[in-house]
Structure 1
């Protein structure tokens, strides 16, 4: 590819951001050596969202970075209104970059008279005008099928596993805090060349779980506990306590999305956990920032930037994980 064609592609690529995680968007642009798109996203006096794109996007390949993290409804509304704005401004293609996909817990009807919000949000994003979606570590992989547009599902596994490689030893084991994370834990087990264990967890309420038993040997082992997100911290703390009771030594936690709602930070601070490794898919809360001695943030900007460029050039995204 000659230099002129590369320059034309870059000029045709535009990245914008709402208010949800503008710092991550700026890091992505820095990695790609391009400027973050100029847009105003504010509020009218009554709280309604006021938005204007301050540059020409006609015929452009636009990527909009906006995780639907807390405040979820505000950030979701910004996302939908921004997509509509870009569509009406004649952007050639709009990719919604959702480092964190909110409303993902309800991905099926597990009891009567409940919504499937993961599907509803997928419909809203599609109907607002998005042409494709780029996301990271969905809470349930099947959510990809809820969209009628292409979805590129990235994994934070390469970023987190690279950090944990420094801990490699014969006394190290990777643990999943519930059976739903077995596939993810197996990836780490294979990559790091270590054994794995499973903590049996049963959800008994929206914010409450019960730990049953541990499958696998953690006695006198250092543990890497892997999950896709940490919300209230209850499951992680319970699992850490059980692992300690089973003889585990140092416990490290790796999670993609640091939601940290409610009293999560206080729970995690008091738990027998040595270090919590998360990514910057969503910004840390002020409480979490104060716990910098235990919480470490790794940036996912390069992974997202590389994926954006591959999508822009119509190249394979899955090859990032080979």
Structure 2
């Protein structure tokens, strides 16, 4: 370690990986130990206790006095179960967020600094009002600020402008672009990255900035699918899509990469993939920061078998079932090394500015290829 790293500006590092984020937390801990060439674990033992009536509490097993504490929580991990009144319940985002607050309460002001890492930002799809409705994401951020959290770290927020809800707490919105691009070009050996062979597609107008960024760093063109919705009807909380209309250059004979922040049911991806195949594209790839598969993976498997979708790339920033990880059409992008680098830098009070823009490292990667 250099002289700067020998000085702990923010206190001894402590990582609290809640039950929803155990696997990712262990990987991050492993990478930090390697970076620092140390054997000791930085993970703080925690116990998530559930009572038979559904109430819960978080209990810390180690002292956190004076430590620089990082709380890791995956609010999208629906695999965590507990028994309530004899029934097995799956934890939802509200319960995971409550566990973050319970953890802060258990710390009782003894830590030198508290940082909350929610890779999937809680209630991020409720980022702005369009009438008489709640604004959960903003309320949650303000609640964490009032509880004394010094910094909130998330990835690819649905609308980064939600950070304007808090004024005294640092909010870092990071992106997995480099790791996704690296995995994409490493796994797809037959891929030709040039304007004649590859085009990046935005699935809607809201994802256009992301698509433009991907296309610019890859040096290819960009296209857009516009969603025409039926605004007279609401289904599952949103207006149903009537039709996808394409705007962009001819895609015949090209590989296409559809990029978005999240895949929920996947219906938009399916509709777009079908439309692209009608236009004689070669292969359809999909890249998303978060893959929920809210209606299962059967249709993804079907579209892969029929040659409509070639591959889906997504990160381990939120829960992905093991059978999905092992599917031929899916590639998981591991973000643990990146997060460990961020934590290591912040603990030593060093700048992470160079990690906020992946343009240069992506270009270096493409030049090596």
Instruction: Tell me which residue corresponds to 2:141.
Output: 122
Query: Which of 216, 231, 252 is equivalent to 2:285?
Result: 252
- The reply to whether residue 314 of structure 1 matches residue 349 of structure 2 is yes
1:174–1:225 CA contact under 8 A, matched in 2:
yes
Instruction: Tell me which residue corresponds to 2:18.
Output: 18
- Per-residue CA deviation, residues 83-114 of structure 1 (Å, 9 max, x unaligned), is 2222x05111100001111311121122x211
Question: Partner of 1:284: helix, strand, or coil?
Answer: coil
- The reply to whether residue 242 of structure 1 matches residue 268 of structure 2 is no
Post-superposition offset of 1:50: 2.3
Post-superposition offset of 1:32: 0.5
2:11–2:68 CA contact under 8 A, matched in 1:
no
Question: Partner of 1:40: helix, strand, or coil?
Answer: strand
Post-superposition offset of 1:126: 2.1
- The reply to whether residue 43 of structure 1 matches residue 78 of structure 2 is no
Q: Which has the larger radius of gyration?
A: 2
Instruction: Tell me which residue corresponds to 1:231.
Output: 264
1:20–1:67 CA contact under 8 A, matched in 2:
yes
Report the Cα distance in structure 1 between the residues aligned to 2:11 and 2:135, rounded to whole angstroms. 40
Structure 2 unaligned residues grouped into runs of 5+: 34-40, 79-91, 359-369
Question: Partner of 2:19: helix, strand, or coil?
Answer: coil
Instruction: Tell me which residue corresponds to 1:200.
Output: 226
Post-superposition offset of 1:52: 1.0
Query: Which of 112, 115, 126 is equivalent to 1:92?
Result: 112
Report the Cα distance in structure 2 between the residues aligned to 1:202 and 1:67, rounded to whole angstroms. 33
Instruction: Tell me which residue corresponds to 2:200.
Output: 174
- The reply to whether residue 83 of structure 1 matches residue 104 of structure 2 is yes
Instruction: Tell me which residue corresponds to 2:95.
Output: 74
Instruction: Tell me which residue corresponds to 2:313.
Output: 277
- The reply to whether residue 105 of structure 1 matches residue 88 of structure 2 is no
1:260–1:285 CA contact under 8 A, matched in 2:
no
**In the comparison of the two structures, how many residue pairs are matched?**
318
Report the Cα distance in structure 2 between the residues aligned to 1:122 and 1:20, rounded to whole angstroms. 19
Per the normalisation by structure 1, the TM-score is 0.91
2:127–2:158 CA contact under 8 A, matched in 1:
no
Post-superposition offset of 1:311: 1.8
Report the Cα distance in structure 1 between the residues aligned to 2:23 and 2:104, rounded to whole angstroms. 20
Instruction: Tell me which residue corresponds to 2:32.
Output: 32
Q: Label 1:114 to 1:203 Cα distance change in 2 as closer, same or farther (>3 A).
A: farther
1:168–1:192 CA contact under 8 A, matched in 2:
no
Per the normalisation by structure 2, the TM-score is 0.80
Q: Label 1:95 to 1:45 Cα distance change in 2 as closer, same or farther (>3 A).
A: same
2:11–2:112 CA contact under 8 A, matched in 1:
no
- Per-residue CA deviation, residues 275-295 of structure 1 (Å, 9 max, x unaligned), is 111100012135634x61111
Q: What RMSD, in angstroms, separates the aligned Cα atoms of the two structures?
A: 2.1
- The reply to whether residue 138 of structure 1 matches residue 157 of structure 2 is yes
2:228–2:245 CA contact under 8 A, matched in 1:
no
Post-superposition offset of 1:188: 1.3
Report the Cα distance in structure 2 between the residues aligned to 1:200 and 1:5, rounded to whole angstroms. 49
